[in-house]
C-alpha cells in the first residue's frame, strides 16, 4: 500500500555530510553512531547535492525469431558525483589533488602539486537527514576519485571541485552500503 509518509527529501547533516578516511579505517555499520576521528569532514557541498549513478549494463540474448530469452549483465557502475565548495579546507584539497600533493595549513601556507599521480582509494561516508529526522548513512568502503570537473574562478560563484567518485567492490563484492535509522536522543542531527 502506498503511503505519502514514506516520501522524503534529503538534507545534509549540519557540519558536513561527506567524510573521508584512509583505506582500512573501521567502517560504521549503522546510521546513527558517531564516526571515529579518522573521518575528516569535506565541508559544504554545492546545492546540487549528491548524485549516485548505480547502473548495470547488460546484453540481451535473443533466440531465432527475435524472442529475448536471457539478459546478461556486462558491467555495473557505482559512481557518486558532488561538488566540494570549501576551497580553503585542506582536507578538501587532499581529496581533490591527493594526500601526498597538499602540504601545509592555511596559517603556514598551503602548497598544492597538480600531477598525473593516481589518487588513492579511501573510505567515504555520506550522512543525510530524511523526512522526520530519520538518518541515512551511505558507506563507501573503497572509493577512488575517477574524474574532476573544471574549476572556475569567478566573482559570482564559489570555487568548487566537481568530483566523481568510483565506488569499488570490497572483499564481499559490495561497492557501497546504506543504513537508515531513527536518531537516538543523544544523536546530533543539527535540527
Instruction: Read off the pLDDT of residues 155-177 as tens digits, 9 standing for 90 and up.
Output: 888 999 999 999 999 999 999 99
Cα–Cα distance measured from residue 172 to residue 100, given in angstroms and rounded to the nearest whole number: 29
What's the N-to-C CA distance of the chain in angstroms? 30
Enumerate domains of the chain plus CATH numbers. Answer: 4-30+39-54+74-181 (2.30.110)
Q: Please list the ranges in the chain whose pLDDT falls under 50.
A: 191
Q: For 30-60, how does the pLDDT look when each residue is reduced to its tens digit (9 = 90+)?
A: 999 999 999 999 999 998 889 998 766 666 7
H/E stretch holding 90 reads helix 90-97
Q: Which residues have a Cβ under 8 Å from the Cβ of 20 and sit 6 or more positions away?
A: 39, 40, 42, 91, 94, 95, 122, 123, 124
Say if CB 176 and CB 130 are below 8 A apart.
Answer: no
What pLDDT is recorded for position 191? 47
Share of the chain above pLDDT 90, in %: 65
pLDDT of residue 75: 61
Provide the pLDDT for residue 27. 97
Lookup: cell for 75: 558491467
Amino acid at each position: 500500500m502506498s503511503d505519502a509518509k514514506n516520501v522524503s527529501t534529503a538534507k545534509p547533516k549540519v557540519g558536513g555530510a561527506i567524510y573521508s578516511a584512509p583505506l582500512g579505517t573501521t567502517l560504521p555499520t549503522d546510521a546513527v553512531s558517531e564516526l571515529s576521528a579518522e573521518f575528516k569532514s569535506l565541508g559544504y557541498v554545492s546545492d546540487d547535492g549528491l548524485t549516485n549513478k548505480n547502473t548495470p549494463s547488460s546484453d540481451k540474448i535473443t533466440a531465432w525469431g527475435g524472442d529475448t530469452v536471457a539478459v546478461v549483465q556486462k558491467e555495473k557502475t557505482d559512481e557518486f558525483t558532488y561538488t566540494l565548495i570549501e576551497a580553503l579546507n585542506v582536507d578538501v584539497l587532499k581529496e581533490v589533488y591527493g594526500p601526498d600533493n597538499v602540504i601545509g595549513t592555511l596559517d603556514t601556507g598551503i602548497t598544492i602539486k597538480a600531477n598525473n599521480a593516481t589518487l588513492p582509494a579511501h573510505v567515504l561516508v555520506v550522512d543525510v537527514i530524511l523526512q522526520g529526522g530519520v538518518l541515512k548513512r551511505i558507506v563507501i568502503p573503497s572509493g577512488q576519485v575517477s574524474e574532476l570537473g573544471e574549476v572556475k574562478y569567478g566573482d559570482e560563484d564559489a570555487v568548487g571541485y566537481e568530483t566523481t567518485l568510483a565506488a569499488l567492490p570490497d572483499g564481499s563484492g559490495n561497492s557501497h552500503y546504506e543504513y537508515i535509522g531513527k536518531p537516538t536522543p543523544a544523536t546530533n542531527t543539527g535540527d
